[in-house]
Amino acid sequence: MMTMTRRQMLQLATVLAALPVAARAAPPVNYSEAEWRRRLTPAQFDVLREAGTERPFSSPLDHFYGKGQYACAGCGNLVFASETKFDSGTGWPSFWRPLKGGVAERNDTSLGMDRTEISCARCEGHLGHVFDDGPPPTGLRYCMNGVALRFEPAPGVQPPKGAV
């Protein structure tokens, strides 16, 4: 039987965390409406399952810039890295690039506008929209609902108070 030291376990965890999302992708999530309602808060259900939008400037994640990753609050799929987060001034957490395989895009013509909706690639939960007014290097602004995200801090980082 092989035993690992604490240091070896931490090194292994670091290597695994660095794997691309596709290398550790979980199977799709397909819950019933009743199960989603049981698993999510009413605000999360409204955004993730009914494509609602949270009020601007209401998310504790909006002005939080701790090191870590952001996961879908519905299924835990990793969708954004903290290194790509920026202050867009819009009142919603914004990123200039998603993690590979983390999100899906589809055309959204609701509200009389032509936009690109961003959803979780695993559970298809609505996260927000992407716009072409972001910073370099992509020029994109992934404008996300904070209630649809869960911050997963890097070791030693504390998540913001009130974050889901």
Q: Kindly give, in sequence order, each residue whose CB lies less than 8 Å from that of residue 108, ignoring residues fewer than 6 positions away.
A: 114, 115, 116, 117, 129
For the domain with range 30-153, which CATH number is right: 2.170.150.20, 2.70.70.10, 3.40.50.1220, 1.10.1030.10? 2.170.150.20
> Is 75 labeled as catalytic in the residue annotation?
no
Residue 141 φ/ψ, nearest 5 degrees: -125, 105
Give the pLDDT confidence of 9-68 residue by residue, as tens digits. 555 555 445 554 444 557 888 899 999 999 999 999 999 999 999 999 999 999 999 999
Domain extents for the chain? 30-153
Lowest mean pLDDT segment, chosen from 25-29, 70-74, 99-103: 25-29
Q: Does pTM surpass 0.75?
A: yes
Sign of the CA dihedral 41, 42, 44, 49?
positive
Longest dimension (CA), the chain: 63
Active-site annotation holder among 75, 120, 123, 143: 143
